[in-house]
Amino acid sequence: MTAERPAVIVIEDEPRLRRVLRTTLETNGFRCMESESARRGLLDARTLRPDLILVDLGLPDCDGLQVIRAVRQWSTVPMIVLTARSEEPTKIAALDAGADDYVTKPFTVGELLARLRVALRRGGDYNPSGVFEIDTLRVDLANRQVFIGGQEVHLTPIEYRLLTVLVKNAGRVVTYNHLLRHVWGPGKVEQHDFVRTYIADLRRKLEADPARPVYLLTEVGIGYRLLAPAMKGVTN
């Protein structure tokens, strides 16, 4: 990452949207580079070595999904997808192809910046001693302990593993399939209700009101997102 101003490539064919994104990014401490097509974007991604790529899924020359797959062949650069609403399968496909997160159009600046911050801090929001902390929730990865308001909460091994996968991706949406793979192993893929049941249990232990979760947020049809410090200050 460049010292102060992270460089973002915006791969988007709609010039007006590019203009808005450029203004937003530049007034919020990013450098912005524009690519108006998938081909151009792939080229720029190689030559300009950005810190983050913002890619529209509906590009005229080729599917945004292909851009994600192509970039992932040689780079781990964070990628955020711009999508239209009601396209859950596409969102999931993009995330499975290697995108870090998505922003649904039309999005608010707060939302976009939160996603960018989270994606740029990839690798965990926990401090060097392995402690993740947000509001009253404290997860001590080194000692395998979880606290709510200073009170230790006892989790089953699966609940704990589920929580650690979310902690390691704090602030990012984590798909059902990702959780299944990393908690249960490759055999359980597609059994999404498995995840939902364990998340419900986890919420009963961590959330003051499980019906109004504060930490374990739901993205219906896609997966879960653990509240992260970088998400604070987002207005919907």
Partner 1 sequence: MLLIVGLVISSLASGLRLQAHTATLRERRTAALYAMARELATASSLDDIAKSSLSHLAKVFDASGMILLKRTDGTMRSLGAAGTAALLECADSGIADWVFTQQTIAGVGTDTLPAANAIYLPLNGTLGKVGVLVVHRNNRRPPLVSEQQRLLEAFANQIAVAVERDELRRAAHISAYAAHEERLRSSLLSSISHDLRTPLAVIGGSASSLLQGNSQLSEGAPRQVVQTIHDETQRMTRMVNNILDMTRLEAGPVQLDRQSYHLEEIVGAVLERLKDQFGQRAVRIAIPRDLPMLHVDGVLFEKVLINLLENAAKYTPPHTHIEVVASLQDRRIEIQVMDDGPGIPKGSEQQVFAKFYRGHAEESVTGTGLGLAICSAIIEAHRGRIWVENRPEGGAIFSLVLPLEAACKEHTKRVAP
Rounded CA separation 30/117 (Å): 11
- Strands of the sheet containing 173-175, edge to edge, are 173-175, 223-226, 216-219
- 98 lies in the site for partner 1, by CB under 8 A: no
- 1 lies in the site for partner 1, by CB under 8 A: no
Q: Tally the C-alpha atoms within 13 A of residue 4's C-alpha that lie toward its C-beta.
A: 3
Identify which range of 8-16, 22-30, 130-138, 194-202 contacts partner 1 by CB under 8 A. 194-202
From candidates 129, 151, 186, 211, binder to partner 1 by CB under 8 A? 211
# residues near partner 1 by CB under 8 A: 21
SS3 31: strand
Joined tokens for residue 153: 């909460």
- 17 lies in the site for partner 1, by CB under 8 A: no
From candidates 85, 127, 128, 151, binder to partner 1 by CB under 8 A? 85
Least separation in angstroms between CB 166 and partner 1:
15
Identify which range of 70-78, 120-128, 157-165, 210-218 contacts partner 1 by CB under 8 A. 210-218
- 111 lies in the site for partner 1, by CB under 8 A: no
**Helical segments of 35-108, H only:** 38-48, 64-72, 88-97
- 217 lies in the site for partner 1, by CB under 8 A: yes
Joined tokens for residue 209: 């009101």
Identify which range of 7-15, 16-24, 159-167, 196-204 contacts partner 1 by CB under 8 A. 196-204
Angle at 182 between CA 176 and CA 184, to 5 degrees: 85
Identify which range of 85-93, 121-129, 144-152, 163-171 contacts partner 1 by CB under 8 A. 85-93
- 236 lies in the site for partner 1, by CB under 8 A: yes
Query: How far does CA 23 lie from the centroid of its chain?
Result: 23
Least separation in angstroms between CB 141 and partner 1:
26
SS3 229: helix
Helix (H) or strand (E) holding 173: strand 173-175
Rounded CA separation 183/204 (Å): 19
Question: Residues interacting with partner 1, by CB under 8 A?
Answer: 85-86, 88, 106, 192-193, 196-197, 199-200, 210-213, 217-221, 235-236
